[in-house]
Each structure stands twice: as structure tokens, then as C-alpha cells.
Copies of this chain bind each other. A is one copy, B any other.
């Protein structure tokens, strides 16, 4: 059974998110591999090693794949292959895709997740997880042709496109644009200090202090993207937006949302 996929919107402060990830990875038996490749700060790996070690996992080790040739390191690949959980730090998602893409590391991450290992990523690490990755884009809530730049991501799921720092950086427009180009995927806009825990059954549940905005193009009747000029607003009819916070759930297949208050009733 596929492992959990856990995009986190950046600025992770809530200990409960880390604790839940560790529990899914085996609790005190967890072996957490940290990949700080996205970051340009040299102590990012050590920072997360300490965070996980403080929680009493069996092992937590950072592997800073800085060059594509690092991705052939057999000792690192062996440790990674035995990991029971993987954590991708923030930074630049294009560092992740351009350094890990097409290497044994990216292949191993897909295999691990396909075999049940949970993979969490914050900020750039969250953006990188899906098949279609938002590389960069403009701010603002109105979709406009060309405001989002996309490329191939890690490919844990081709059902979702993840965006992060969502409310804080005003990113609704670029996510709407990505979905207007092809109303196939679901958009997940994850706020800071917030996580979307996507279970093996593709039910998402939400933790943290912010919200997750789910953009569902299933019932889009019309969009003008093929006729609009770059920079112009895109007309879209029928995009469905759902905003959920901690304790709420959403199923990516049935599109059924269960708000937290309804869960509690």
C-alpha cells in the first residue's frame, strides 16, 4: 500500500505535525532520512536531525545531495533505502528537481513511498512531491496566462498540484492558472504551519494552525486559457473551492469534504 504523502506549507511550528509524521514512520523505531537539498543553508540538515532526535526516534540522518553525482553514493542510497520516513526541507524546489531528477535518489523515493514509507516535505519540499510541480509564479488571486511556471516534479502523485505559503503569499491565482491549463489535477494550497496528511486511501486530513485550500476543476464548464494572451486574466466557469482547517478531511477521489465540526458531531 502506498505510504502517506504529507505536504507542509512552510514555517513549520506545530510540534503535533512532526509527532504525527514520526508516528506514521514507526514512532521510537523510526529511521528518518532528511533531504536538505532544497536549502542553501549549510546547517539545515543538522537542524532537522536535532528536531527528530529530540523526539526520540531510532535514527535521524541528513543527506545533503548537493551535486547530481552525490545521488550515486551507494552508502547514502543504502541508508535511504532502509528509511521508514523521509523529510524534505524547504528552500528552492528547482534545486530538488534539477539535482535529484532522473537520479537513483528520485527513483528510490518513489519506490519507498509506493512500498508504504511516508514522505513529508515543507515549503519547496511540498511543492516538489507531485508529478506536476509549480516551479515559480506571480502573486495575486486572479488567474492570468503565464503567471505560473511548471515542470516535472518527483511524481509521488499525478492527482494533485501542491502550492505552499498559500495564504501568506497570495497564491490562489497561480494555482487556478495551473488548473485552468488542464482541469485534471486537484490543487492543494497549503498555508504556513499547516499540513495535508494524504493517506494511502487518498483521504486528506489537515493539521496545524492554517488552512488547506482545495481547488477542484472537476466541474469546470469553460476556461479561456487557449484564447487569452499572456498576462491577461483567464476566464473560468465552475471551479470549486473548498477551504478546510485542522481536523477536517477531504477525499481526493470522491471529492467529499467533512469539516471538523461535522466530524465532531
Contact = CB atoms under 8 A, between A and B. Distances in A.
Number of copies of this protein chain within its complex: 2
A157 interface: no
Interface string A209-250: 000000001101111011000000000000000000000000
A67 to B, nearest CB: 7
Interface in A135-192: 135, 146, 149-153, 155, 158, 178, 180-185
Contact of A182 (B102, B182, B184, B218): B102
Interface string A90-127: 00101101110110001000000000000000000000
A69 interface: yes
Contacts of A180: 98
B149 A223 contact: no
Contact of A94 (B69, B99, B133, B226): B226
A131 interface: yes
A94 B151 contact: no
A188 to B, nearest CB: 15
6 contacts: A68-B220, A94-B181, A95-B226, A101-B181, A149-B150, A152-B182
B131 A151 contact: no
Interface string A191-206: 0000000000000000
Given A92-B226, A150-B151, A151-B132, A184 B67 contact: no
